[in-house]
Chain A
Amino acid sequence: MSKMIEIRWHGRGGQGAKTAALLFADACLGAGMYIQAFPEYGPERTGAPVASYNRISGEPITIHSAVESPSVVVILDPTLIGAVDVMKGLPQDGVVLVNTNETTEEMGKKLGLNGQKLFVLDASTISKETIGRDIPNTPMLGALVGATGMVDFDSMIEDTEAKLKKKFRNKPEVIAGNVQAIRQAYETVKAQHA
Chain B
Amino acid sequence: MSETKTETSLKGVKNLAALTGNEAVAQALRQINPDVIAAYPITPATEIVQIFSTYVSDGLVNTEFVAVESEHSAMSATIGASAAGARAMTATSSQGLALMWEMLYIASGLRRPIVMPVVNRALSSPINIHCDHSDTMGARDAGWLHIFSEDAQEAYDNTIQAIRISEHPDIQLPTMVTMDGFIISHGMEVVKMLDDDVVRDFVGTYKPDTYLLDVDKPVTMGGLDFTDFYFEHRRQLAEPMEAAPGVVKQIGEEYGKLTGRKFGLYEGYMLDDADYVMVLLGSTAGTAKTIIPELRAKGIKAGLLKLRMFRPFPYDEVAGLLAGRKAVAVMDRSDGLAGLGGPLFGEIRSALYEAKQRPPLADYVYGLGGRDCGPAQLMQVFEDMQKMAVTGAAANRVNYLGVRE
Contact = CB atoms under 8 A, between A and B. Distances in A.
B11 interface: yes
Contact of A62 (B1, B129, B287, B372): B287
A41 B151 contact: no
Given A29-B16, A35-B18, 17 more contacts: A1-B3, A2-B6, A5-B1, A22-B18, A32-B12, A33-B10, A36-B187, A36-B188, A60-B190, A62-B151, A63-B287, A63-B289, A64-B150, A64-B151, A64-B284, A65-B373, A65-B374
Contact of B375 (A2, A25, A65): A65
21 contacts: A22-B18, A29-B190, A33-B9, A34-B8, A35-B18, A35-B189, A36-B188, A38-B186, A41-B44, A41-B182, A58-B4, A62-B151, A62-B286, A63-B286, A63-B287, A64-B151, A65-B284, A65-B375, A148-B1, A149-B1, A150-B3
Interface in A47-63: 58-63
Nearest to B180: A64
Interface of B: 1-6, 8-12, 16-18, 44, 129-130, 150-151, 180, 182-184, 186-190, 283-287, 289-290, 372-375
B188 to A, nearest CB: 4
Nearest to B184: A64
B3 A41 contact: no
Contacts of A33: 9-10
A41 B290 contact: no
Contacts of B186: 38-39, 41
Contacts of A65: 284, 287, 372-375
Interface string A9-36: 0000000000001100110010111111
A90 to B, nearest CB: 15
Q: Which 10 A-B pairs have the closest CB atoms?
A: A32-B11, A62-B286, A65-B374, A38-B187, A64-B283, A37-B188, A66-B372, A26-B18, A62-B289, A32-B9
A65 to B, nearest CB: 4
Name the residue among A29, A35, A150 with the largest chain B CB count within 10 angstroms: A29
B374 A68 contact: yes
A152 interface: yes
Interface residues of A, number: 34
Contacts, number: 102
Contact of A1 (B1, B18, B284): B1
Given A64-B180, A149-B1, A58 B8 contact: yes
Contacts of B10: 29, 32-34
B72 to A, nearest CB: 26
B18 A37 contact: yes
B203 to A, nearest CB: 27
Nearest to A43: B129
Contacts of A66: 372, 374
B24 to A, nearest CB: 13
Contacts of A29: 10, 16-18, 190
Given A39-B186, A41-B129, A64 B8 contact: no
A36 B17 CA distance: 12
Contacts of A21: 188
Contacts of A151: 3
Contacts of A5: 1
Nearest to A33: B10
Interface in A131-158: 148-152
A3 B16 CA distance: 21
A137 B149 CA distance: 32
Nearest to B191: A29
Contact of A150 (B1, B182, B289): B1
